[in-house]
Structures are given as C-alpha cells and as structure tokens.
Amino acid sequence: MILKKGKLILIPCTLGLTELSAVIPNNNIKYINSCQTFIVENLRSARRFLKNAGFLGDLNNINFHLLNKHTISSERSMMLETCLKGQNVGLLSEAGCPGIADPGADIVKLAHSKQIIVKPLVGPSSILLALMASGMNGQNFSFNGYLPKEKSDRIKRIQFLEHLSFKNNQTQIFIETPFRNHHLLNDLCKHCHPNTFIAIATDLTTESEQIMCLQAKDLVKKNLQLKKRPTVFLIHKY
C-alpha cells in the first residue's frame, strides 16, 4: 500500500499589529488546524500567530522547524519528512506570504521535487499591496529584493534600475531593512532623475499605514519618518 502524502500548506500572516480578521480569511483556519508540524522563521512570533489564529492544538506538543539564513541544506530536506508520512506541514512566514522575499521558497521548491502537493492560502503581500497603491505599471514589474548596503553600490543599483524602468516601461520594486530606510530614501531623492516617480508604502494594513507616490523633485521636500517602519519602495521613470 502506497501511503498518501500530506500537503505543504503555505500560511500567510499579518504584516504588523493588524487585526487578524482584517487580512486573514476564516477559511485559512481549517488548513492551519490540519497541521501538527510547522516550518517557521521565528518560534516566538509563530506561536503567537497560531494562538491568535485559533489553532486548536497544544502549542507545547507540536513540531516546529526553524528556517532562516543559518539553516543548512540537509536540515531543509528533513523538514518535509512529515509530509512523506501522510501529514500536512504548515510553512509560516514571519510577515506576509511564504516564499515572497523570505526563505520559504527553498522549502516549496523542495516539496515540488518530492511531488508533495503545495497549497497556498490567501493573505497579505506587502509587495503586491504597494504595487496596487502606487499607480505604476502593474503589467510589467520586477521585485529586486534588498539593494546593496554600501552607499556607492546602492546608488549604482538605483540608477541601473531607473534605466531599466525607462527602457522597459517596468516598475521596479525593492525593500530595505527598516533601520536603513532613511539612507535609501535619501539616495533615491538625490540620485534619481527629478521627474522619476517614487512610491513609498509604509506600515501596510496597519493603523499607521502611509502611502504616497511623487516625483523625486517633490518627494525630496517631504520630511518622511521611515526609521524602523517596514517599507516597500517603487520607482518608475516614464
């Protein structure tokens, strides 16, 4: 008898201190409760989310696998053993949707290689929400992750992406570690063409949400306070 494999359930979570019901459908709860093993980035926040989401299991007696930049390849492979034994495994992002700007993509790729069914659940994606609210080209866009830490390299990258945006009529999207937001914003205002549009989407889905899209020459006049606030940046040169 061939044992039926479990599924890998991709579980979105809130982007910040947002009421769960405002961004997570009730239908997700039944899938969350179908799992007794979870792959997470942070144990403490994962436990908090599962408790708030109405997880019915005993959080002290379920299996957690930590997935972060320190996780080695052999450890990732073992995380799906539960699926091969016929049980569902939940993949939980630290913020937003698993596999989007987080290490979960490696687990999803591994699941496909093992012919494990992947079930994505509906939830908030800061990248897509920012694009929706920017007014920029949603037919042709590119997410570029984090820009270089070094200032000179970061400026070169910004100018390269700005050129691509103009050449291909393509929205360029990127993020930054919150404590370096102000450095990135300053570089965008100073080194983009004055007429290039820059969109800033901060604290999405929370009460302090702030979204604006202005040309660089106008954005430089704003005194935006972005330090330690999760922000998505978008540029488009027309």
Q: What is the CATH number of the domain that holds 203?
A: 3.30.950.10
Q: Of 120, 154, 185, at which residue does a domain stop?
A: 120
Domain identity same for 51 and 91 = yes
2 falls within a domain: no
151 falls within a domain: yes
Residue with tokens 């978008």: 234
3 falls within a domain: no
* pTM attached to this predicted model: 0.92
Phi, psi of 235 (to 5 degrees): -135, 150
176 falls within a domain: yes
DSSP state for residue 147 in the 8-state scheme? P
> In the predicted model, is pLDDT for residue 136 greater than 60?
yes
Domain identity same for 136 and 71 = no
Q: Of 120, 155, 190, at which residue does a domain stop?
A: 120
Quick one: pLDDT at residue 69?
82
222-228 LR contacts (CB < 8 Å, sep 24+): 224/185, 224/200, 226/178, 226/181, 226/182, 226/185, 226/200, 226/202, 227/178, 227/179, 227/181, 227/182, 228/178, 228/179, 228/181
Q: Which value, to the nearest 10 degrees, does the dihedral of the CA atoms of residues 185, 190, 194, 199 take? A: -10
Query: Would you say 76 and 108 are in contact if contact means Cβ atoms under 8 Å apart?
Result: no
Query: Which residues are 236's β-sheet partners?
Result: 197
For the chain, what is the total number of helices (H) and then of strands (E)?
A: 10, 10
Q: What is the pLDDT of residues 63-113, one digit of tens each?
A: 999 998 888 888 888 999 999 999 999 999 888 999 998 889 999 999 999
d(CA 150, CA 187): 12
SS3 assignment, position 155: helix
d(CA 46, CA 52): 10
Query: Would you say 164 and 172 are in contact if contact means Cβ atoms under 8 Å apart?
Result: yes
Domain identity same for 183 and 221 = yes
Count structural domains, the chain: 2
Quick one: pLDDT at residue 129?
97
Q: What is the pLDDT of residues 30-67, one digit of tens each?
A: 999 999 999 999 999 999 999 999 999 999 889 999 99
DSSP state for residue 138 in the 8-state scheme? S
Domain of residue 207 covers 126-236
